[in-house]
A = this chain, B = another copy of it.
Amino acid sequence: MSTDPRAGEAAEYVDPEVLEELLSMRASIDNIDATLVYLLAERFKATQRVGVLKAAHQLPPADPAREKNQIARLKRLAEDAQLDPEFAEKFLNFIIDEVIRHHQAISDSTSQQASGSSATVSSGSAVSPAARARPEAGSSTDRSA
């Protein structure tokens, strides 16, 4: 019987052959999850830069037209990938909620640096890792990036 920690509690119930197949599938899932985490990190870096750009140029945070396009496109891609389009939309909204939290942190940081006047914000420096980690939720921030 395998003692591979990835087996979890399944090791207690399964014959070795089935366990082997289960472990192989779980290894693939783990690889996919790692890729998702690193990809999400890149996505938040990109939206972070957009947030800084918008704050520096007094651009409106929300952009409903952009958001509508994003949702329609992702649903089309989801259909092509045989993923539930409704799930794709739910996923985008889940990500956007986090983007809102990040942008609120940028906005707070920018108003601290230059209240009222044209802010001089250098890319990436507006949000400390600590601020990014636990920003407060806000309502008037860029949803779509």
Question: Which A positions have Cβ atoms within 8 angstroms of B?
Answer: 5-10, 13-14, 18, 21-22, 25-26, 28-30, 32-44, 46-47, 49-50, 53-54, 57, 59-60, 63-67, 69-70, 73-74, 77-78, 81-84, 86-88, 91-92, 94, 98, 129, 132-134, 144-145
| A98 nearest CB across to chain B (Å) | 6
Q: By the criterion CB–CB under 8 Å, are B74 and A8 in contact?
A: no
Q: By the criterion CB–CB under 8 Å, are B39 and A70 in contact?
A: no
Q: By the criterion CB–CB under 8 Å, are B73 and A30 in contact?
A: yes
What chain B residues lie within 8 Å of A63 (beta carbons)?
8-10
Known A33-B43, A33-B74, A37-B83; further 11 A-B contacts with Cβ < 8 A:
A9-B65, A18-B53, A22-B50, A25-B145, A26-B66, A30-B70, A32-B43, A34-B77, A36-B43, A40-B83, A44-B83
| A76 nearest CB across to chain B (Å) | 10
What chain B residues lie within 8 Å of A67 (beta carbons)?
8
Q: Which of A37, A67, A92 has the most CB of B within 10 A?
A: A37
Cβ 8 A contact of A41, one of B7, B39, B81, B86: B81
